[in-house]
Structure 1
Amino acid sequence: MVIHLVLDGVAESSLGVGIDIISAAARRTSSGLAQVAGPAKLLRQRVVSLDGQPVRSGSGRTIAVDGALSLRGMGASDVLVVPGIFSVTEQSIESLLAQDSTKRAATALACAAAKGAMLAASCSATFMLGAAGVLDGKRATTTWWLGPEFARRFPAVSLDTDRMVVETARVLTAGSAFAHADLMLAVLARITTPSLAQLVARYLVVDNRPSQARYMVMEHLRVTDPALQKIERFITQHIDRQITLDELAQCASVSPRTLARRVHAGLGMTPNELVQRLRVAQAAHLLETSNASVEEVATRVGYADPAAFRRIFRRYTGASPRGRR
């Protein structure tokens, strides 16, 4: 069974698309449009709250539920899904994690994991999985603009904010609120078959979106650490040439090892990744605002090899340089 656990502030879009994807799969199989062995029980679903009472969505509307979350009888055939609560700032995450309901939800998630249930969460709800300890030693993703905060809070988690969905053995995480569609399709592929998930995606017109990178805004990732501000300015001023780690460390007046640690703590990435992101951000700006060729843009942001530039640009944006025009 798929169990959607909702808390106050839930993103209605996430909850709605999650319900619709499972419902669409159930309809496809019951009508004979998809042949999947024994999916009926797996495709049952419920919407629950911690106490069985309605919750208020992030838009202020009342969300009815089917009952209270119960861990009794939960096991390997169940999926506990937590839709995201839209959070824009680190302060909103701080407030979310300090709430009693969030702490109770994290405890419930840890108990469900111990019973063998599959866990899934998107957007800020991934922080609940982090707080529950079920991501320690595993890979995960979260909404891209909260990546640095996630990395600071949960250093035992290998964070990959470029990915839309990250799957481990029994835990799936996804990025921003609309990535909940990608998350639920991944869940569906796990509990039934990939072909059914692909069929539902086509019916609901959900494109394959493996990366969040194309949606990232570098300005949102800036931090107040003076050392990081210095190296960001240095990279921007010398973006047309190769920059070494030693140069960046000297600019920040720290050792290369200390710089790497502070960049990871502040931004959740390596110094080299920061350089690449700033180059790609500048390249995207030039492609959108000038008539410079792809080759000219590559040179202006420090790439002597246009082919290498194209590969890196696609890696971080999910699109080719020409597609960014």
Structure 2
Amino acid sequence: MIIHLALDGVAESSLCVGIDIVGSAARLASDRVADAPRSAKLLRQRVVSLDGHPVRSGAGRTVAVDGALSLRGIGTSDVLVVPGWFAATGASIEGLLSRDETQRGAVALKRAAAKGAMLAASCSATFLLAATGVLDGQRATTAWWLAAAFARRFPAVSLAVDRMVVEAPRVLTAGSAFAHADLMLAVIARIAGPSLAQGVARYLVLDSRPSQSRYMVMEHLRVSDPALQKVERFIIDNLDRQITLDELARVAAVSSRTLARRMHAGLGMTPHELVQRLRVSHATHLLETTSASVDEVAARVGYADPAAFRRVFRRLAGDSPRGMRTRSTEAQHGI
């Protein structure tokens, strides 16, 4: 069974899309439109709260539930899914995590994991999942604008913030709110097979989006640390050449180790990752606004090897440079 745990402040879009995806999967399986052996029982679903009472969504609306979360009988065939709240800042997520309901939810999730249930969460709810300790030593993702706060609070978790969905043993995490659709497709694929998940995606016209990097706005990640601001400006001014860690440390007037530590605390990434993200961000701008070839764009953002540029671009942007340009052209012409 798939159990959606709704907490006060839940994003209605995430909760509802999760319900619809599971419902669609169950109907496709029962109508034999997609090959999904033994999936009927696994695709039953319930929406619960911790106490069985309705919850208030982030939009201030009352959300009805089917009952209270019960861990009696929960086991390895069950999935406990937590759709996120909307949290725009690290301070807002701290406030959500300090609530009594959130702390009780973390305890319940930890107990469910101990009984063998699969856990899944998206957006800010990934913080709740990490608070249980089940992500320690594992890879995970979260909403891109909360990456720095996540990295500071949970240093034992290997954060892959560029990914839309990250799968680890018995636990799945997804990025921002609409990535909940990607999360639920991954859940369906895990418990009922990829064929059914692909069928649901086709019927609901859901595109594959392996990365959330294209949605990252570097300006949003800027912090008040003057040293990091100087480093960012230096990188932007020197994108067309190789940049060393020692150079960045000199710009920040700190040691290389101190720069790495402050960058991790402020941005949730290493100096090398920041350089790559800024290169890809500028490359995307060039691909969308100029007719320069991919090789020319690669050179203008500091890559002597176009193949290496393509690999980094695909990893961070979730698409090839040529694919990014094609989509941008189609959007401009309303195709």
Same fold per TM (> 0.5)? yes
Moved more, 285-294 or 73-82: 285-294
Q: Which residue of 1 aligns with 2:314?
A: 314
For residues 236 and 200 of structure 1, what CA distance do their matches in structure 2 show? 42
Matches within 5 A, 1:168-187: 168-187=168-187
For residues 30 and 211 of structure 1, what CA distance do their matches in structure 2 show? 32
TM-score (norm 1): 0.95
Say if 1:290 and 1:66 are closer, same or farther in 2 by CA, change over 3 A.
same
For residues 74 and 155 of structure 2, what CA distance do their matches in structure 1 show? 29
Shift of 1:291: 4.3
Q: Deviation string for 1:122-157 (max 9, x for gaps)?
A: 000000011111111111000111111100000000
Q: Which residue of 2 aligns with 1:149?
A: 149
Shift of 1:85: 0.7
Q: Secondary structure at the match of 1:116?
A: coil
Q: Which residue of 2 aligns with 1:139?
A: 139
The letter of the residue matching 2:8 is D
For residues 25 and 287 of structure 1, what CA distance do their matches in structure 2 show? 38
Q: Which residue of 2 aligns with 1:288?
A: 288
The letter of the residue matching 1:217 is V
Aligned length, in residue pairs = 325
The letter of the residue matching 2:98 is A
**Contact conserved, 2:49 with 2:55, CA < 8 A, in 1?**
yes
Say if 1:36 and 1:291 are closer, same or farther in 2 by CA, change over 3 A.
closer
Q: Which residue of 1 aligns with 2:279?
A: 279
Shift of 1:311: 2.7
- Unaligned regions of 5+ residues in structure 1, if any? none
For residues 58 and 64 of structure 1, what CA distance do their matches in structure 2 show? 14
- Unaligned regions of 5+ residues in structure 2, if any? 329-335
For residues 198 and 296 of structure 2, what CA distance do their matches in structure 1 show? 40
Q: Which residue of 1 aligns with 2:64?
A: 64
For residues 262 and 316 of structure 2, what CA distance do their matches in structure 1 show? 22
Q: Secondary structure at the match of 1:242?
A: coil
For residues 134 and 102 of structure 1, what CA distance do their matches in structure 2 show? 16
RMSD across aligned positions (CA) = 1.5
The letter of the residue matching 2:271 is P
Q: Which residue of 2 aligns with 1:89?
A: 89
**Contact conserved, 2:35 with 2:195, CA < 8 A, in 1?**
no
Q: Secondary structure at the match of 2:75?
A: coil
Q: Which residue of 2 aligns with 1:11?
A: 11
Q: Which residue of 1 aligns with 2:51?
A: 51
Q: Secondary structure at the match of 1:311?
A: helix
**Contact conserved, 2:36 with 2:195, CA < 8 A, in 1?**
no
Q: Deviation string for 1:78-118 (max 9, x for gaps)?
A: 11000011111112111111111111111111111111110
TM-score (norm 2): 0.93
